[in-house]
Structure formats: structure tokens, C-alpha cells
Structure 1
Amino acid sequence: MNSEVFQSTITVPKSAIDDMNHVNNVIYLQWIQDVAKKHWETKTSETIRNTYVWVVLNHYIEYHSPAVEHDELTIQTWIDHHHGAKSERHTKIIKTSNQKVIATAKTMWCLLYKETLRPTRINKEISTLF
């Protein structure tokens, strides 16, 4: 699958910092979910969003380097592949000033019908958007 990279930038707030004076690992997970949601909302119509919802099956995150308060980070995400109701999304968090990779992640998502919360195959209408 040859999907485009969606990206967003953030500046690390004080609230993201833990007792070790760097970004807490739970915050990275939130950012990974937030950028996936932004990507979905940017590419889909309200009709699609009212019909389908995604749930996480698993996350795999690697932490490469710490980020600290006031760092500007670029968060990139893309769909690597999908099959049936499942889609594997990758995320890369990069320190904007020096392009150093801070963290990488793979998340397996499952598409559900919003009304029934039952898994549904990713159709062509959705796959062509990404």
C-alpha cells in the first residue's frame, strides 16, 4: 500500500512532563491516538464518520530519545496496510529542530459499524481515501 503521510506539529506543554523531566510515555500514546483521529477526520466526510468508528486492538511503541518541555515535535502517521476490518497505522514522532526520531509506533485498528459496534470490512470507499 502506498499511502500518504499525514502530519501535525505540537509544542510539548509542561503538563506532558513527568518526574524525570521529559515527556511521560502515556502522553506519547495520547498523541498517537490524537494524530490518527485528526487524519481520519481530515480525510473523511461527516457521513462516513457517522457510519463507522475505529477501535484499537494493540499498540507497539518504541522510545528512541526523550522530548522535553517546549520541544516542537512533528507527528507523522500513515496507513501501512489493511485487510478485512483491520488496518495497521504507523506513527513517527520527530523533534522538528534536528529531525531526530523521538518515538515510533505501530497500531492495529479495527473498523466497526458505529450503530452496532460490530467489525466491518474496510471497503474501497474508505481505503481509497488513505
Structure 2
Amino acid sequence: MNKKVFSFHLTITEDELDTLDHVNNVYYLQWVQNAAQKHWDLLSTPDLNKKYVWIVLRHEIDYLQAAKLDDEISVSTWIENVYGVKSERIVEIKKNAKLLARAKTTWCLLDKKAMKPVRIPSEIIKIFKTI
């Protein structure tokens, strides 16, 4: 799949720090979730949101460097793979050019009414390739 990247930026606040004065891992997971939601909100339409909902099947996060108070962070995401009812999303969290963390999340598409997995339709695959 073509790598079409969506990014946003944030600045680390005191509330995000743990007892070691670096960002608590829970916030990295929240940024992974936020990246996916913001990206989907950009791509989706009201019609798609009436028909479908995404759920997480698996998160894998590699923590490589610590983020600290007032660091300016970029969070970038893209769809790495789509197959059947699943998609794999990558999220990279960086300070300047340094990779702080990298996540791979497996998502499953559900029919919103039945709340059952549904094969990812071509209309969704197509929009994953357009931004």
C-alpha cells in the first residue's frame, strides 16, 4: 500500500509526566489512538461513519527514547496493510528527527448495526490511498 502520511504536533505537558519525569507510556498509547481517530475523521464521510466502526485487535509499541517536559513532538500515521476485515496502522512519534516510539496497531472493521466484522470495502481501501 502507498504510504500516505497524516501528522499532528503536540507539546509535552507536566500532566503527561511520570515519577521519572518523562512521558508515561499511557500517553504514547493515547497518541496512537488519537492519530488513528484524527486520520479516520479526515478520510471518512458521514455515510461511512453510519455504516462502519473500527475496533483495535492489537497494539505493539516500541519505546526507543524518552519524551520530557516541553518537548515538541510530531505524531505521524499511515496505513501499512489492508487484508480481509483488518488493517495495520503504523504510528511514529518523533522529537525533531529522532524516533521516540513506533507503534503497529491491527484494526478490525465492523458493520456498525450488526457489530460484526466486515471485509474492508474498496471505497475505504481507495480513500486510504488518497491522502
Structure 2 match to 1:104 = 102
- Aligned-partner Cα distance in 1 for 2:3–2:112: 25
Q: Which runs of 4+ in 1 moved over 6 A?
A: none
Query: How far off its partner does 1:26 sit?
Result: 0.8
> What residue identity is the alignment partner of 2:112?
K
Q: How does 1:1-130 map to 2 (within 5 A)?
A: 1-96=1-96, 99-130=97-128
CA RMSD of aligned residues (A): 0.8
Q: TM-score with structure 1 length normalisation?
A: 0.96
- Aligned-partner Cα distance in 2 for 1:62–1:91: 11
**Which digits, 9 at most, give the CA deviation of each residue in 1:76-114, with x for residues without a partner?**
100011111000000100003xx1100001000000011
State how many pairs are aligned.
Answer: 128
Query: Contact (CA 8 Å) 1:41, 1:49: kept in 2 or not?
Result: no
- Aligned-partner Cα distance in 2 for 1:13–1:127: 36
- Aligned-partner Cα distance in 1 for 2:14–2:46: 34
**Which digits, 9 at most, give the CA deviation of each residue in 1:48-76, with x for residues without a partner?**
11211110000000001000111111101
SS in 1 for 2:116: coil
Structure 2 alignment gaps of length 5 or more: none
Q: TM-score with structure 2 length normalisation?
A: 0.95
Query: How far off its partner does 1:3 sit?
Result: 3.1
SS in 1 for 2:92: strand
> What residue identity is the alignment partner of 1:74?
S
